[in-house]
């Protein structure tokens, strides 16, 4: 059953549709539900399943509806997020020849001219804001507009050429992306278990007592005083990059930035306290008392996740820094008494995805039943795991200089299929082409400015054009791998959600509370740990089968059962 849910001044409009998006012949008329009665109406419809299947709710955006339904105690099984699915269909090369994609307005950012920081790990938190979609009031569409949009998307999906099971893969991606949107809303509703008292203790241990508003903690103030003395700058404000750079230069510390790696090259006595000041200042700013007041309530941290917030399909977050819980405060992420945190991550996910995409049987065999980098090293690098890892990551991220560049020929000789796969993706990007993930998410096309940059005239312009083309090649080289890993992760989440729902229906209150790229965290009663671990592992294997079929590539999951997050790794 397909049920459209659209906003109305008096509440919401519900209308049953066919799979193609037409009004259901036996019940074509929409019905109006007031805001007060909507949760009960949805609950009844969810419970009254047709042929054993719950309705698939069709709406503009999951985050506009599902949080309020969850707050009212209504949990849904399935949905179709028109906004997320429309973005995929408008950009995918699988659907590029459909009327839907041809009529879509697809624009690329001028940031194509720069190295794609969103795809190079790890992106600094300050730069993540550019990855978030626009916030603010949700636009209101009429039921007919939403019905027409759903019908158009279904027509586009039906028009995808079936070769290579493209239609089936794209359909799987739309379902997984919509399921991920539900997971995001549910995790925000549930929240990460968080001990405020332990967080307070961590802050006191590192920073000292909580200071008055607008004042530095005492340990930061003591370090600031020490820096003023060592740099002979009585009025120095270490939080001002401009003042700090001037003070460093006056003392003969010729650095171009205050980044940690650059500061460490100096032996000046001010460097050690400066690095410590920066470390503690980061803690105070990002996860200090103000953060605790704003984001933790009732023993839970409830951030807002942004599904598909990065062009590769990775998630972002809007506030709270959910995707960057620093190691210093992980001890505050603590299971409720009688429960455990089950923290699982997919080991070496992106390299294994590359093996599957490239169908490199030699590399697959090298990784069988062992650490992938160690297996690669044994076959091509004399057992040197560090060199094997550097070479493979260099291939995925486009490292052509230094040690990684020197090791590349050996990697290409031993594992030619894997290296050729990413090289072809890079060449496509350098020529202005797009690449596509396993399930059909495509990289954005170059902007007009990018094309203008390639029309070089002078030798200097040509050198810049080549540099810009190589930057885009690095982007597409990694996009296809990282994006396919995001495809796998979305399927993993959807499968795990389904299994945990089954456990809850049987009386085991297991909660999916956190997700980060290739890591999940489940909060569950101690006596349900075994069932949850099985659900996590089975979901990972199911995700591999959904994406790649029965291939000889393993996607192992490392699991830690702990009381607090800091003990997971």
- Three state DSSP letters for 389-404: HHHHHHHHHCCCCHHH
Give the residue carrying structure tokens 């490392």: 558
Using only the alpha carbons of the chain, give its radius of gyration.
Answer: 26
Phi and psi torsions of 286, nearest 5°: -85, -35
Task: Report the C-alpha gap between 267 and 414 in whole angstroms.
Answer: 43
Confidence of residue 207 (pLDDT cuts 50, 70, 90): very high
Task: Report the C-alpha gap between 8 and 5 in whole angstroms.
Answer: 10
> Is-above-0.85 flag for pTM?
yes
pLDDT at res. 130: 30
Tens of pLDDT along 468-492? 999 999 999 999 999 999 999 999 9
pLDDT at res. 133: 37
Mean pLDDT value of segment 384-402 = 89
The rounded mean pLDDT for the chain is 90
pLDDT at res. 116: 34
Could you tell me the CA-to-CA distances from 491 to 139, 517, 541 in Å, in that order? 29, 12, 10
Tens of pLDDT along 520-541? 999 999 999 999 999 999 999 9
- Give the H or E element holding residue 6: strand 2-8
CB neighbours of 378 closer than 8 A, spacing ≥ 6? 366
Which of 81-85, 266-270, 363-367 shows the lowest per-residue confidence on average (mean pLDDT)?
363-367
Give the residue carrying structure tokens 């399927």: 491
Given a cut of 90, whether residue 106 has pLDDT beyond it is no
Confidence of residue 129 (pLDDT cuts 50, 70, 90): very low
Confidence of residue 108 (pLDDT cuts 50, 70, 90): very low
pLDDT at res. 534: 97
Mean pLDDT value of segment 387-395 = 92
Tens of pLDDT along 369-386? 778 999 999 988 989 999
Which of 59-63, 130-134, 498-502 shows the lowest per-residue confidence on average (mean pLDDT)?
130-134
Tens of pLDDT along 416-451? 999 999 999 999 999 999 999 999 999 999 988 888
pLDDT at res. 118: 35
What CATH number belongs to 350-481? Answer: 1.10.150
What CATH number belongs to 197-292? Answer: 1.20.1060
Confidence of residue 458 (pLDDT cuts 50, 70, 90): confident
Confidence of residue 105 (pLDDT cuts 50, 70, 90): low
Displacement of CA 101 from its chain's centroid (Å):
25
Given 3.40.640.10, 3.40.50.300, 3.30.70.370, 3.30.2350.10, which CATH number is that of 304-348+487-567? Answer: 3.30.70.370
**What SS3 class is residue 57?**
strand
pLDDT at res. 171: 97
DSSP state of 369: T
Rounded (10°) angle between helices 82-91 and 143-159: 40
pLDDT at res. 48: 76
Confidence of residue 49 (pLDDT cuts 50, 70, 90): low
Task: Report the C-alpha gap between 356 and 363 in whole angstroms.
Answer: 10
3-state helix, strand, coil in the chain (%, to 5): 55, 15, 30
Confidence of residue 107 (pLDDT cuts 50, 70, 90): very low
Burial 259-290 (b: 16+ CB within 10 A, else e): eeeebeebeeebbebbeebbebbebbebbbbe
pLDDT at res. 124: 31
Mean pLDDT value of segment 5-27 = 93
Q: Which residue has the higher pLDDT, 127 or 109?
A: 109
Given a cut of 90, whether residue 87 has pLDDT beyond it is yes
């Amino acid at each position: 059953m397909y049920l459209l849910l659209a906003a109305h001044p008096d509440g919401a409009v519900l209308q049953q549709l066919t799979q193609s998006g037409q009004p259901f012949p036996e019940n074509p008329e929409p019905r109006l539900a007031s805001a007060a009665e909507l949760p009960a109406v949805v609950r009844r419809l969810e419970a009254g399943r047709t042929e054993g299947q719950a309705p698939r709710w069709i709406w503009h955006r999951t985050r506009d509806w599902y949080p309020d339904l969850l707050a009212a105690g209504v949990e849904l099984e399935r949905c179709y997020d028109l906004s997320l699915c429309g973005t995929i269909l408008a950009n995918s090369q699988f659907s590029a020849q459909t009327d839907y994609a041809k009529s879509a307005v697809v624009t690329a950012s001028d940031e194509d001219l720069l190295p794609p920081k969103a795809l190079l790990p790890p992106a600094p938190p300050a730069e993540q804001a550019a990855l978030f979609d626009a916030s603010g009031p949700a636009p209101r569409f009429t039921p007919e507009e939403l019905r027409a949009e759903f019908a158009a998307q279904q027509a586009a999906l039906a028009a995808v050429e079936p070769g290579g099971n493209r239609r089936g893969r794209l359909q799987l991606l739309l379902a997984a992306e919509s399921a991920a949107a539900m997971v995001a809303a549910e995790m925000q509703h549930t929240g990460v278990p968080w001990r405020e008292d332990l967080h307070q203790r961590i802050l006191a241990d590192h920073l000292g007592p909580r200071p008055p508003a607008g004042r530095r903690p005492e340990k930061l103030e003591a370090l600031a005083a020490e820096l003023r003395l060592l740099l002979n700058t009585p009025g120095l404000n270490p939080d001002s990059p401009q003042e700090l750079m001037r003070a460093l230069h006056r003392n003969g510390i010729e650095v171009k930035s205050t980044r940690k790696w650059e500061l460490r090259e100096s032996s000046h006595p001010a460097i050690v306290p400066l690095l410590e000041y920066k470390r503690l200042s980061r803690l105070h700013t990002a996860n200090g008392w103000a953060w605790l007041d704003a984001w933790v309530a009732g023993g839970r941290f409830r951030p807002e996740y942004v599904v598909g917030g990065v062009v590769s399909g990775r998630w972002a977050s809007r506030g709270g820094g959910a995707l960057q819980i620093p190691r210093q405060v992980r001890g505050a992420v603590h299971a409720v008494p009688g429960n455990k945190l089950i923290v699982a991550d997919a080991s070496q996910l992106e390299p294994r995805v590359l093996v599957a995409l490239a169908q490199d049987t030699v590399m697959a065999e090298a990784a069988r039943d062992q650490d992938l980098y160690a297996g690669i090293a044994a076959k091509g690098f004399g057992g040197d795991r560090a060199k094997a890892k550097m070479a493979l990551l260099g291939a995925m991220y486009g490292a052509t200089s230094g040690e990684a560049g020197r090791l590349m020929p050996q990697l290409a000789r031993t594992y030619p299929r894997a290296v050729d796969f990413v090289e072809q993706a890079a060449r496509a990007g350098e020529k202005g082409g797009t690449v596509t993930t396993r399930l059909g998410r495509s990289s954005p096309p170059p902007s007009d400015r990018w094309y203008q940059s390639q029309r070089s005239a002078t030798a200097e312009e040509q050198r810049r054009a080549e540099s810009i083309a190589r930057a885009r090649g690095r982007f597409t080289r990694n996009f296809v791998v990282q994006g396919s890993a995001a495809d796998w992760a979305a399927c993993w989440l959807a499968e795990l959600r389904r299994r945990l729902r089954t456990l809850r229906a049987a009386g085991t209150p297991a909660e999916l509370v956190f997700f980060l790229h290739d890591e999940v965290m489940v909060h569950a009663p101690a006596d349900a740990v075994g069932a949850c671990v099985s659900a996590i592992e089975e979901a990972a294997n199911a995700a591999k089968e959904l994406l790649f079929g029965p291939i000889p590539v393993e996607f192992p999951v490392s699991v830690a059962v702990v009381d607090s997050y800091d003990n997971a790794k």
